[in-house]
Chains A and B, each alone.
Chain A
Amino acid sequence: MRFKPPMDADEAEKRTLFVTKRIGSFIHGTHTKRATADYYSRIRAALGEFVKGEPLYDDEAVLKKLVPHSHNIWEFRITFQPQARIVGAVAKTDVFVAIEPEFRDMLEKKGFDEIIGKSLAWWQEWLDPKPRDPCHPLTFCFCNVKD
Chain B
Amino acid sequence: MDPDNRIPDDVLSDQWNSFRLKIWRRLHESVRDAKAGGLTQKEIAERIGMNEAQLSRILSGRSNVTIRTMHNIARAIGYRPEIEFVELKHLTAANTPMITNFRDQWLSGTATASRSIAAPSPSSQSAATATPRGQMVA
Mark A residues whose CB is within 8 Å of B. 1-14, 16, 18-19, 24, 27-28, 37-38, 41-42, 44-49, 54, 57, 61, 77, 79-81, 83, 91-95, 127, 130
Whether A13 contacts B96 in the complex (CB less than 8 A), given A41-B14, A44-B17, A44-B134, comes out as: yes
Interface string of B27-63 (1 = CB under 8 A from A): 0100010000000000000000000000000001111
Partner of A3, one of B13, B96, B106, B136: B136
Partner of B18, one of A5, A10, A16, A37: A5
Whether A49 contacts B22 in the complex (CB less than 8 A), given A2-B102, A10-B91, comes out as: yes
Secondary structure call for the B interface: mixed
Task: A84 to B136: give the CA distance in the assembly, Å.
Answer: 20
A12, A93, A94: most-surrounded residue (chain B CB, <10 A): A12
When C-beta atoms are compared, the residue in chain B nearest to A3 turns out to be B134
The 6 listed contacts between A and B (C-beta, < 8 Å) are A2-B138, A5-B131, A6-B134, A9-B92, A79-B60, A91-B106
> Residues of B contacting A38 with CB < 8 Å?
13, 17
- How many interface residues does B have (CB within 8 Å)? 50
> Residues of B contacting A47 with CB < 8 Å?
134
> Residues of A contacting B62 with CB < 8 Å?
79, 81, 83
